[in-house]
Amino acid sequence: MSDTKTPKRGRPRQFDEEQALDAITTLFWQKGYSQTSVVDLVQASGIKKPSLYRVLGSKEEIFSRVLRRYLAARMSMFATLIDNSGPGVDGIHTFLSLMRDDVLSGTSQNGCLLVESSAELHGTTPGFTNFGSVYRSAVREQMQVLAGKAGGTNRQIESRSQLLTTWFLGLDLTVRGGGDEEEIDNSIDAMHGVVEAWGESPVAATA
């Protein structure tokens, strides 16, 4: 957990740690935690079992690390999408379009790893229990920024970001569950419809 850096003496490591974690992430992403065996990890990463345990820890520790890494990467991607989508209600529509491309692209084909893990493992393995709520909080934070683009009162922004959050989780579940392009487009179009109304009557309500 601490000696993951290159040492000064001894036989040099023959694998790249981050690269191995990428391969392992992909595997967990496809098969889930329970259905992925340590032997699978060995084959995917190219690291033999004892080295895997020494450098990356147990299966549970590896998965925990993978989830944290994944969360950071996903949120960064999310933030970039929001940044690139421009201001105003139009910006929200643009975001939805950008997100559609991402969801339909190869990398997100398996849906969200955290959604899968949250659904699969909540309440079973101590230590994995909180990842779901951590992920939802992170998404909600981003959605607050997004919803803020449409203006409105704080209460409106709060309510809209919550709607976006729950909706987004449902979309991710749809993707994970094998939803086809039409189904995904319908979901996103439905949200486009809701967002349109956010542009109307930008009057500041007091109550």
Where does this chain bind its own copies (CB under 8 A)?
A: 30-32, 34-35, 110-111, 115-116, 118-124, 129-130, 132-133, 135-136, 158-160, 162-163, 165-171, 173-174, 176-179, 183, 186-187, 189-191, 193-194, 197
Choice between 47 and 82, CB closer to DNA = 47
In the complex, minimum distance from the CB of residue 192 to DNA, in angstroms, rounded to a whole number: 42
Residue 157: is it exposed, middle or buried by C-beta count within 10 angstroms (0-12/13-18/19+)?
A: buried
Q: Where are the alpha helices (DSSP H) in the chain?
A: 17-31, 38-45, 49-56, 59-84, 88-104, 113-121, 131-148, 154-176, 181-198
Does 129 interact with DNA (rule: CB under 7 A)? no
Residue 70: is it exposed, middle or buried by C-beta count within 10 angstroms (0-12/13-18/19+)?
A: buried
Backbone angles phi, psi at 51, to 5 degrees: -65, -40
From the list its own copies, DNA, none, pick the one residue 115 interacts with, judged by a Cβ distance below 5 to 8 Å according to partner type: its own copies
Does 18 interact with DNA (rule: CB under 7 A)? no
Choice between 28 and 78, CB closer to DNA = 28
In the complex, minimum distance from the CB of residue 159 to DNA, in angstroms, rounded to a whole number: 42
| Number of chain positions touching DNA (CB under 7 A) | 26
How far apart are alpha carbons 43 and 204 in whole angstroms? 59
**Candidate residues 11, 201, 206, 207; the one interacting with DNA per rule CB under 7 A:** 11
From the list its own copies, DNA, none, pick the one residue 31 interacts with, judged by a Cβ distance below 5 to 8 Å according to partner type: its own copies
Find all residues with CB under 8 Å of 157, minimum gap 6, and list them: 144, 147, 148, 150
Residue owning tokens 């957990």: 1
User: Interface residues with DNA (CB under 7 A)?
Assistant: 3, 7-15, 36-40, 47-51, 53-55, 58-60
